[in-house]
Structure 1
Amino acid sequence: MGEILIGSCSWTDRALVGSGWYPTGRRDAEGRLRHYAERFPVVEVDSTYYALPSERNSRLWTERTPDGFVFDVKAFSLLTGHPTRSAVLPAGLPGDPRDPRTLDEVWRRFTDGIRPLREAGRLGAVLFQFPPWLRPGVRAREILAQCAERTAGWPVSVEFRHPDWWRGEREAETAELLRSYGFAAVAVDMEPSLPSAIPPVTPVTSGRLSVVRFHGRSSAWGTGSKEDRFRHEYSDDELREWVPRVRALAARAERVHALFNNCCADAAVRAATRMRELLDDFRGREAEAHQSAEELPGVTRPVS
């Protein structure tokens, strides 16, 4: 059984910082990360989607967290085909983000920015969350091939936002495509009634890693403000749906990252804590059942 790491999709989100979850005396940049890392073994860095990461920050993150703690880093917007403001691009580059020289330099700086995490063995994965307009097809395959070439040797996870990738017969084709590049497929939990909802499939496409991202089940996904889109309190019943699924992923991958993205106040860290408790309860009941079966009359323990 693989290791299951549970955490949230940010430790710096403004709503979390303002929720009071961080105690007095630990609300500066260093204190917040240390406080978080004492409670969870993994976190997703979403700030790297909005601005390129820096080597200095990556180095500080490794220094402020214990051995074994890992960071999943979200790929910069330009690298996944999302709109990118010229103001966040490196100075001196062509103004058009589509210019190949700009793209090459952004890749270089992104690579340099996460290097301290890679060298310290603290990079859990680089998350490529592709936009909803990236449909299955020839162009999408070209983009994935280019991504594989640029990220050779990195741990990579891929989340598709267009539901056709995982619908019907295409599910097996998508899984095989990701498997061919060694990319870990990201399973998604979101409001299932939405037309854009990603099916809650859980393919394992990398023996090293499987990822689940819990976006919450708000019906305002894709329409309201950020607070509206992610405002969701996971119930125990909703989390229990995923307990056997997460366990099944861990049976096929060396490590599973379960990350909560319902970033409204402290909802994500509370849901992560509760999911860990439910998984522990499940393991406990499983162990008790196994022990009881061994103690039944006529049951012989195997000789080791």
Structure 2
Amino acid sequence: MGDVLIGACSWTDRQLVSSGWYPRGRRDAEGRLRYYASRLPVVEVDAGYYALPSRRNSELWVERTPDGFRFDVKAFSLLTGHPTRPQALPADLRGAAGTGPLRPGRAGEGLLDEVWGRFADAVEPLRKAGRFGAVLFQFPPWFAPGGPAEAALEACVRRAGDWPLAVEFRHPDWWAPHQADATHALLSALGASAVGTDMVQDLSASLPPIAPVTRPALAVVRFHGRSRAWGRGSKEDRFRYDYSAAELAAWVPRLRRAAARADELHVLFNNCCADAAVRAAEQMRRLLAAPAGSEARPGLTGPSWAGGFSCP
């Protein structure tokens, strides 16, 4: 079995910071990351979606985390086809962006080249230090299977060069029974890691609870919670959820199978509710560390530390 690294999709989420999970004296920027890294071995940098990351921050993150820690960095919105406000760009690039939301087709190759280059430069300290897990390309709900989408994926892979890429689809057809084999083959041929997801299952936009392995070096699964507000409302509405022990235990065999086929498996919790994500991560670590079949036994699924509380 490969290494299984379990963590949360942010260490700076305001819900987590205000939950009391960080102890006194560890609530400044440096203290939070050092404390988080003492408890969990991987984290997702979700802020990369909203603004280009900075090289200086990457250098500080390397200083504040131990060898073996991993950062998965979410790709900037413009790189995945999401509408991007010009104000989200660095100040010196806004003049080239024009007005109104940007998309890759409207941005111009020169601007896209500059954004890709700056993103790569910003994460280079993580790569150099061995802290880099993958760049997460999370495509929008309208990114459906077909020729244009495949061309866009191929363009991403060409631009990314030797970056490790993880690809998460939001359009349900990618992993529908009639398309799943083709999706698996496409990502395998591109050398990209498919991202499995856990989410509410009875909506038209629901993706199945699978953990595909399309690149042996790395598999990724993201737990989004099971809020019925998926696809609407605020971020807190969409991702507010507290996993039960039984819900986590049901995923254990699936994750073990994925880990058996990958050198490294990242399991990331994106359920925003106080410290629900980090509590779920700790509990899942303990479930996976237990002997096979023991996850259903009483006494193995209690809280991993005192002071947790449920979502309202």
Q: Same fold (TM over 0.5)?
A: yes
Q: Which amino acid aligns with 1:220?
A: A
Deviation at 1:284, TM superposition (A): 8.6
Please say if residues 90 and 106 of structure 1, whose CA atoms lie closer than 8 Å, have aligned partners that are also in contact.
Answer: no
Separation in structure 1 between the aligned mates of residue 150 and residue 288 of structure 2, nearest angstrom = 36
Partner of 1:253: 262
Partner of 2:97: 95
Report the number of matched residues. Answer: 286
Q: Which amino acid aligns with 1:139?
A: P
Deviation at 1:227, TM superposition (A): 1.4
Alignment of 1:150-189 (within 5 A): 150-189=159-198
Separation in structure 1 between the aligned mates of residue 126 and residue 23 of structure 2, nearest angstrom = 27
Separation in structure 1 between the aligned mates of residue 257 and residue 57 of structure 2, nearest angstrom = 35
Partner of 1:73: 73
Q: Which amino acid aligns with 2:289?
A: D
Separation in structure 2 between the aligned mates of residue 63 and residue 243 of structure 1, nearest angstrom = 33
Q: Does 1:226 align with 2:226?
A: no
Please say if residues 71 and 131 of structure 2, whose CA atoms lie closer than 8 Å, have aligned partners that are also in contact.
Answer: yes
Separation in structure 1 between the aligned mates of residue 270 and residue 144 of structure 2, nearest angstrom = 23
Q: Which amino acid aligns with 1:254?
A: D
Alignment of 1:5-44 (within 5 A): 5-44=5-44
Deviation at 1:283, TM superposition (A): 4.6
**Larger Rg: 1 or 2?**
1
String of CA shifts for 1:217-240, please: whole Å, max 9, x gaps: 000111222211111110111101
Within the candidate set 109, 112, 116, 2:121 is matched to: 112
Partner of 2:288: 279
Instruction: Name structure 1 gaps, 5 residues minimum.
Output: 287-304
TM-score when scaled to structure 2? 0.89
Q: Which amino acid aligns with 2:97?
A: G
Partner of 1:157, secondary structure, is strand
Please say if residues 210 and 254 of structure 2, whose CA atoms lie closer than 8 Å, have aligned partners that are also in contact.
Answer: no
Please say if residues 78 and 84 of structure 1, whose CA atoms lie closer than 8 Å, have aligned partners that are also in contact.
Answer: yes
RMSD: 1.3
Q: For residues 201 and 283 of structure 1, do their structure 2 counterparts lie closer, same or farther at Cα, with a shift above 3 Å needed?
A: closer
String of CA shifts for 1:12-55, please: whole Å, max 9, x gaps: 00110011111111100000000000000000000111010111
Please say if residues 9 and 263 of structure 1, whose CA atoms lie closer than 8 Å, have aligned partners that are also in contact.
Answer: no
Separation in structure 1 between the aligned mates of residue 280 and residue 210 of structure 2, nearest angstrom = 21
Partner of 1:236: 245
Separation in structure 2 between the aligned mates of residue 139 and residue 12 of structure 1, nearest angstrom = 36
Partner of 1:2: 2
Separation in structure 1 between the aligned mates of residue 237 and residue 47 of structure 2, nearest angstrom = 20
Q: Which amino acid aligns with 1:91?
A: A
String of CA shifts for 1:105-161, please: whole Å, max 9, x gaps: 111110110010111111001000000000001110110010000111111100000
Q: Does 1:192 align with 2:201?
A: yes
Separation in structure 1 between the aligned mates of residue 178 and residue 232 of structure 2, nearest angstrom = 29
Separation in structure 1 between the aligned mates of residue 294 and residue 271 of structure 2, nearest angstrom = 29
